[in-house]
Amino acid sequence: MTNGADLLCDTLLENEVDVCFANPGTSEMHFVAALDRKQNMRCVLGLFEGVVTGAADGYARMSGKPAATLLHTGPGLANGLANMHNARRAFTPMVNVVGDHAAYHLPNDAPLTTDIESLAKPMSRFVRRIAGADDVSRATAEAISAARAAPGGVTTLILPADAAWTDVPDDSPISKASLRTPPPADPKRVDAAAKAVKSGAKPVLMLAGTALRDGPLKRAAAIAEATGARIIAQQSNGRVERGAGRVPVERVPYVIDVAMKFLEGTTHLILIGAKSPVTFFAYPGRPTTPLPEGCEVITLAENTDDLPGAIDQLAEALGVKPGAAPGIATAEIPGLHSGALTTAAIASAVANYLPEHAIICDESVTSGREFFGFTHGAAPHDHLQVTGGAIGGGIPLSAGAAIACPDRKVLNLQADGSGMYTNQALWTIAREKSDVCTVIFSNRRYAILQGELKNVGAGEPGLNAQRMLNLDDPFIDWVSLAKGMGVEAARAETAEQFNDLLKTAMSRKGPFLIEAIV
Amino acid sequence: MTNGADLLCDTLLENEVDVCFANPGTSEMHFVAALDRKQNMRCVLGLFEGVVTGAADGYARMSGKPAATLLHTGPGLANGLANMHNARRAFTPMVNVVGDHAAYHLPNDAPLTTDIESLAKPMSRFVRRIAGADDVSRATAEAISAARAAPGGVTTLILPADAAWTDVPDDSPISKASLRTPPPADPKRVDAAAKAVKSGAKPVLMLAGTALRDGPLKRAAAIAEATGARIIAQQSNGRVERGAGRVPVERVPYVIDVAMKFLEGTTHLILIGAKSPVTFFAYPGRPTTPLPEGCEVITLAENTDDLPGAIDQLAEALGVKPGAAPGIATAEIPGLHSGALTTAAIASAVANYLPEHAIICDESVTSGREFFGFTHGAAPHDHLQVTGGAIGGGIPLSAGAAIACPDRKVLNLQADGSGMYTNQALWTIAREKSDVCTVIFSNRRYAILQGELKNVGAGEPGLNAQRMLNLDDPFIDWVSLAKGMGVEAARAETAEQFNDLLKTAMSRKGPFLIEAIV
C-alpha cells in the first residue's frame, strides 16, 4: 500500500532530504506512519516547534541541504515561526510540512482550523497547499527546488490529512527537484566594483553568505592585500569559517555609534551577497544606516549569484593572481583569566580550549559582542549566528548542527534570557546524545534592554521597568533545568572554575551545560 | 512630557485595562518607560510570549475584562499566536500591543521586519496599525471595544516605535471604548426552541459561554426538570461553574465513537451560544459530526446574544417559573485511592481536597477525560479548559487566573507533553508568588497520538514512530525543572503519596508542583 504520505517521504528521500525534525499531531498520523516505514529517514523529535525549526536551520547551515520539518496545523506552525524567521534571514533551505485537516473537514471550522497560508507567508519564500494525493510528489519537489534555489530559503508545504491518507498507485512517479547553478556576477558590476577598489580612497568589501567560507575569504584577502581594500562581514551571518589559518574578518557592530565608528571614512562599499547596512532599530533623531554620508554603495553580486565566483571575477578584473596566498598573520591566543568570570574570561577560555573543527552556535547577545576579537586565533571552526533577531535560536541551532555533523564538537554560547525561549531543545540534545556543550551566560537580566531603556532617556528604572527587565527574582537555576531534561550540568562562578569545566567539556563527548554566572 | 506610549497606557487604564502581561524588546522601550510611569498598571513578565498570551487568556476568563499584552515585533507575536488561538476559541477579550519599527524604518527591512498583519489576522478579530501618536488613543479604544464586544475576542494593535515616542499635547483626549449590551434572543428562535423542547422525543440543550455559569445553568436545569430535556455543554469551554450545589453538566466527549454514543437518539439539539458539534479531526470514512442522522439543530441564541437572558426567555416561553429551584442532587465524593497512581486516583484526590472556590486550569488531555464524572461533588469551583487544541495553554492559563483572583487557589491539571511547550510559565508563577498548584500527569509519552496512530491502522510503532511519540528517553524530571524556575516540587508514584502531597498543597499558599507518575 502506498498513500500520499508515503509518496511525500519518498520524494523527500529521492531529493536527499533524509532528516525530519518533528512534532506531530493527530492530523499528521498518516505521515508519521509513513515515516515509520522509511528506514532511511532520520526523525528527530523536538518538544516544541521552535526547537524543530531552529534545529532544521542549524542542520541545513552545516549540511548544505534542507531538512524537512513536521508541524501540526496552524498553531504548530505558529510556534515554529520565530526560528523560521531566523532561518529566512540566514537564507537557510528548509522544507516545512504542515499538516492540516482533511479538505472536506475545513468548512466545519473544528477547533484547530486556522488560516495556515496567512501564518506561513511572512516567513516563507514559497507556500503551497497540496491539492490531493496525486499532487503530493510534484508539490514536494517544487518546495525542495524553491528551498535550494540560491541563496536558499524557507518553504512551507501544507499537507491536508486526506491527501496524506489517500492511496496512490504503487508506481506513482516520484518528482525530482530542479536545481539551478547560481549565475556569475554581471560583468558590468564587476567592472564597477573593480573601478571602485582601484580609485576609492577607502573601499570596503562587505561579504555575506557563501563568500564567508575559507576559500573565498582567502581570495578576498588576496584582493585586499594587493589593493589596500578592507574586508568586513555583514552584521549577522548564517555561517562564517574562521579561526587560526583563516582570514580574520570583523562584522558590522550592533550598536549604532560603534558601527558608525567602524565604517568611518568608507568611500565605497562593495556588496558581495550582503545587504547595505541598516540599524537594527530606529532611534529618535538618529540615522538608520551607519554608513558615512556620501559613501557610494556598489553591488558586485546579489545573494542569488555565485558569490565565490564573483570574488574570483573581481580578482581577475584587478589582476590579482588566482593562486596568490595572502599573508594571514596567525592571531594570538589570549591568556586564560583568573578571578572574576567576565565575558572576556569566557572568550579567552574558548580561544584556548576549542577543539579543531568545532561549530560555535552563538546567541550570546550582549555577552558576545567582543567574542571575535578574542578568538581569531582559536582552532579553525564554523561560527553560526542567530540572524533574524528572534531570540530563542541558539540551543535549537546547536541541536541541529550536531545532527548534521556528529563528529564535530558543537559549542553553544547562549544568553540566559534568550535560552529560556526554547530551553526544551536541551531535551533533544540529551535524547540524541549529541556532542553539544551549552554555555549559559547567566547575567539574570535582559541586559540588552536595560541598555536600550537608558538610551531612551527614561532615567532609573522604576518598579514596572525592573519587573520587565530583570530575571533575578527568582533567578533561573540552569543546572537544575538541564538536569530536568537529562543534560549533565555544572555552575561556574569564577574564571578558574569556568576554565576547568570548559577544558573538561571540550575534551570529552556528549551533552554538557555550563552555567556561567557573569 | 506625554508621548504616544503614555497615551496608550492612559487609554488602557481609563478603560479599566490595568494588567499588562509583557515580554518587551527594543522597539517597545518607550512603551516600557511609559508603563514605568503608571503606578496603577500591573506589569507581569513572561519569559516567552506563549506565557504572556496564555496568561492574558486565563486572567480575562476569571476577571471578565481584557488584559493588555506587550509583544516584540513579528517574531514576538508569532510566539504568542498559539495561545491567542486558544483564547480566540474561548472568546476571551484580549488587547495585544505589538511593537514595530518606526514607520520610516520599515522600508529598510531591518532584520526583525515582518508582515505583522498577516501573522496577526488568523488569531485576531481586530487588527489595527496605529497611524501616529495622535491616533494612539482612538485606536486603543477601538481595540478595547472590539475585544469586549460579546462574546469577547482577541485584538491586535500594532504600535510603531515612532508613534510611541512622539510627543502629544498634555491634554490629548483619552478615548473611551464603546461597550454594547448583548441583545436578547430573537423571539422567533425562542418559539422554535420552545416548540422543539415540547414536541421533541429527545431534545437536548447545548450550552456554551456565559450560559455555563451557576445561575443560568440552574435556570436551564429547571427547564430540563420541567420538560425532560437534557442539558449538555459543548466539548471545550472557556469557563464552567461546577461542583457541589451546582448543576452537574457533561461535555460532548472528544473521541468520536464516545461522542456518538453520548448524543445517541437526540432528536433536537438546541444551541445556546454553542456551535453544532463537529469532530476534532476527520478520519477516513468516518462522519465529521457525532450528531445522529436526522437530528434537528435549532439555534436559540448566537454567542453574540445575551445567553443567560435567552435561557430566561426560553423558560418563560415554556411556562417554567423564574424562581423554580431544580432538585440538584448532591453528587457523591469518591473515596481516596491507594496503591497505583491512576488518573482516577488523582481525580478522586482532587474531589476530596479541592478547597472552596478554587480555579481548575485543565490541560490534562488524555489523562483528564473522565475528570468531570469524579468531581461533580467537589467543592464549588471554576473549570477552565484549553479551548483551541493548541497545546501549551495550561500552565500560562493558571498563571493568569491567579493574577485575576489572588485569593483563590488555582489547580493546574497538566499533561507533561503539553506542559513542556510553555514550561517557562512556572517562573512567572514563582515570580508572582501565585497560589498555584501544578499537577503534572507524567505519562512520558504523547498518549493521545499513540492512540491516534493505532486508529490509523499502522500496527505496532517502529523506530521512527516511537522516537516521535515517546518522551521517556530521557524522561523529563519535572521536580528539577520546577526547582530550576524557583517552584518547590515533589514527586508522587503512588496514590498515597499523591493524596498526601495534594492535601498539603491545597491547605497552604503559594507555588507548588506535583509530578504524578501515571
Judged against a pLDDT cut of 90, whether residue A448 lies above it is answered with: no
The position carrying cell 589559518 is A245
Residues A31, A121 share a domain? yes
pLDDT band at A454 (very low <50, low <70, confident <90, very high): confident
For residue B135, give the C-alpha cell: 491616533
Neighbouring-strand partners of residue B311: none
Neighbouring-strand partners of residue A343: none
Q: Report d(CA B204, CA A234) in Å as an integer.
A: 65
- Across the range A368-374, mean pLDDT stands at 89
B contacts of A423 (beta carbons < 8 Å): 423-424
Tell me the residues of chain A between 151 and 180 that have a Cβ less than 8 Å away from chain B: 161-162, 165
| CATH number of the structural domain spanning residue A193 | 3.40.50.1220
Is B81 within a domain?
Answer: yes
Amino acid at B432: E
Say if B91 is an interface residue toward chain A (CB within 8 Å). no
A contacts of B416 (beta carbons < 8 Å): none
Say if A277 is an interface residue toward chain B (CB within 8 Å). no
Residue ranges of alpha helices (H) inside B38-169 are 49-63, 73-90, 116-120, 136-148, 161-165
Q: Report d(CA B165, CA B162) in Å as an integer.
A: 5
Sign of CA dihedral A483, A25, B396, A423: positive
- Residue-level pLDDT at A366: 83
pLDDT tens digits for B456-480? 777 788 889 998 999 889 999 999 9
Residues A248, A296 share a domain? yes
Say if B427 is an interface residue toward chain A (CB within 8 Å). yes
Window from A10-14, A249-253, B76-80, B469-473 with minimum mean pLDDT:
B469-473
- Across the range B53-78, mean pLDDT stands at 98
Instruction: Give the closest of B105, B116, B468 to A43, CB-based.
Output: B468
What percent of chain B is predicted at pLDDT more than 70? 99
CB contact under 8 A, B24 and A89: no
Residues A217, A254 share a domain? yes
- Across the range A95-113, mean pLDDT stands at 97
A contacts of B483 (beta carbons < 8 Å): 477, 480, 484
The position carrying cell 532584520 is B111
| CATH number of the structural domain spanning residue A503 | 3.40.50.970
| Pairing between β-strand A240-242 and β-strand A381-385 as defined by DSSP bridges | antiparallel
Tell me the residues of chain B between 243 and 262 that have a Cβ less than 8 Å away from chain A: none
- Residue-level pLDDT at A451: 85
DSSP state of A209: G
pLDDT tens digits for A484-509? 999 999 999 999 999 999 999 999 99
- Residue-level pLDDT at A34: 94
CB contact under 8 A, B27 and A420: no
Residue of B nearest to A237 (CA): B111
- The 3-state secondary structure of A398-433, one letter per residue: HHHHHHHCCCCCEEEEEEHHHHHHCCCHHHHHHHCC
Is B386 within a domain?
Answer: yes
Residues B469, B386 share a domain? yes
Instruction: Give the closest of A32, A112, A423 to B388, CB-based.
Output: A112
What percent of chain A is predicted at pLDDT more than 70? 99
- Across the range B223-230, mean pLDDT stands at 96
Judged against a pLDDT cut of 70, whether residue A325 lies above it is answered with: no
ipTM for the predicted complex comes to 0.97
Judged against a pLDDT cut of 80, whether residue B303 lies above it is answered with: yes
B contacts of A27 (beta carbons < 8 Å): 281
Say if A462 is an interface residue toward chain B (CB within 8 Å). yes
CB contact under 8 A, A26 and B471: no
Residue ranges of alpha helices (H) inside B158-302 are 161-165, 187-199, 214-227, 256-262
Is B325 within a domain?
Answer: no
Instruction: Give the closest of B24, B89, B484 to A477, CB-based.
Output: B484
**Across the beta sheet with A268-272, what order do the strands follow?**
A250-251, A230-233, A203-207, A268-272, A296-301
- Across the range A352-372, mean pLDDT stands at 93
Sign of CA dihedral B225, B229, B234, B238: negative
Residues B494, B402 share a domain? yes
Residues 6+ apart with CB under 8 A from A504: none
Distance from CA of A251 to the nearest CA of B (A): 15
Q: Out of A165, A197, A228, pick the residue that ends a domain.
A: A165
Residues 6+ apart with CB under 8 A from B1: B167
Window from A259-263, B330-334, B345-349, B419-423 with minimum mean pLDDT:
B330-334
- Across the range B290-298, mean pLDDT stands at 97
Is B176 within a domain?
Answer: no
Instruction: Tell me the three state secondary structure of residue A309.
Output: helix
Residues A428, A311 share a domain? no
CB contact under 8 A, B465 and A427: no
pLDDT band at A324 (very low <50, low <70, confident <90, very high): low
Mutate to test the interface with B, among A27, A28, A69, A79 (most CBs of B within 10 A): A79
Is B334 within a domain?
Answer: no
CB contact under 8 A, B74 and A477: no
CB contact under 8 A, B43 and A461: no
Residues B238, B382 share a domain? no
B contacts of A488 (beta carbons < 8 Å): none
Q: Report d(CA A395, CA B233) in Å as an integer.
A: 43
Tell me the residues of chain A between 118 and 147 that have a Cβ less than 8 Å away from chain B: 118-119, 121-123
Tell me the residues of chain A between 29 and 88 that have a Cβ less than 8 Å away from chain B: 29-30, 32-33, 35-38, 41, 43-45, 47-48, 50, 70, 74-76, 78-79, 81-82, 85
Mutate to test the interface with A, among B12, B18, B36, B252 (most CBs of A within 10 A): B36
Domain span at A510? 343-517
Instruction: Give the closest of A22, A452, A473 to B26, CB-based.
Output: A452
Is A171 within a domain?
Answer: no
Residues B499, B422 share a domain? yes
Count of residues for chain A?
518
Residues B360, B233 share a domain? no
Mean pLDDT of chain B: 96
Judged against a pLDDT cut of 80, whether residue B326 lies above it is answered with: no
- Across the range B363-386, mean pLDDT stands at 93
Say if B433 is an interface residue toward chain A (CB within 8 Å). no
Tell me the residues of chain A between 302 and 331 that have a Cβ less than 8 Å away from chain B: none
CB contact under 8 A, B280 and A110: yes
DSSP state of B336: P
Judged against a pLDDT cut of 70, whether residue A453 lies above it is answered with: yes
- Across the range A378-402, mean pLDDT stands at 97
Q: Out of A303, A318, A333, pick the residue that ends a domain.
A: A318
Q: Report d(CA A283, CA B100) in Å as an integer.
A: 12
Say if A25 is an interface residue toward chain B (CB within 8 Å). yes
Mutate to test the interface with B, among A125, A468, A470, A479 (most CBs of B within 10 A): A468
Is B142 within a domain?
Answer: yes
Window from A32-36, A126-130, B454-458, B483-487 with minimum mean pLDDT:
B454-458
Judged against a pLDDT cut of 90, whether residue A368 lies above it is answered with: no
Say if B476 is an interface residue toward chain A (CB within 8 Å). yes
Sign of CA dihedral B59, B64, B70, B71: positive
Say if A481 is an interface residue toward chain B (CB within 8 Å). yes
- Across the range A324-350, mean pLDDT stands at 90
For residue A269, give the C-alpha cell: 562599499
Residues A111, A196 share a domain? no
Residues B511, B373 share a domain? yes
Say if B282 is an interface residue toward chain A (CB within 8 Å). yes
Judged against a pLDDT cut of 90, whether residue B16 lies above it is answered with: yes
Is 0.95 surpassed by the pTM of this model? yes
Count how many domains chain A has.
3
Residues A156, A14 share a domain? yes
Judged against a pLDDT cut of 90, whether residue B455 lies above it is answered with: no
- Across the range A458-473, mean pLDDT stands at 87
Q: Out of B301, B317, B333, pick the residue that ends a domain.
A: B317
Judged against a pLDDT cut of 90, whether residue B331 lies above it is answered with: no
A contacts of B288 (beta carbons < 8 Å): 104-105, 108
pLDDT band at B325 (very low <50, low <70, confident <90, very high): low
CB contact under 8 A, B464 and A44: no
For residue A478, give the C-alpha cell: 540552569
CB contact under 8 A, B282 and A122: no
pLDDT tens digits for A49-78? 999 999 999 999 999 999 999 999 999 999
pLDDT band at A252 (very low <50, low <70, confident <90, very high): very high
| Pairing between β-strand B381-385 and β-strand B240-242 as defined by DSSP bridges | antiparallel
- Residue-level pLDDT at A373: 93
Distance from CA of B470 to the nearest CA of A (A): 9
Mean pLDDT of chain A: 96
- Higher pLDDT, residue A345 or B1: A345
- Residue-level pLDDT at A231: 97
Is A182 within a domain?
Answer: no
- Residue-level pLDDT at B189: 98
Judged against a pLDDT cut of 80, whether residue B511 lies above it is answered with: yes
Tell me the residues of chain B between 188 and 217 that have a Cβ less than 8 Å away from chain A: none
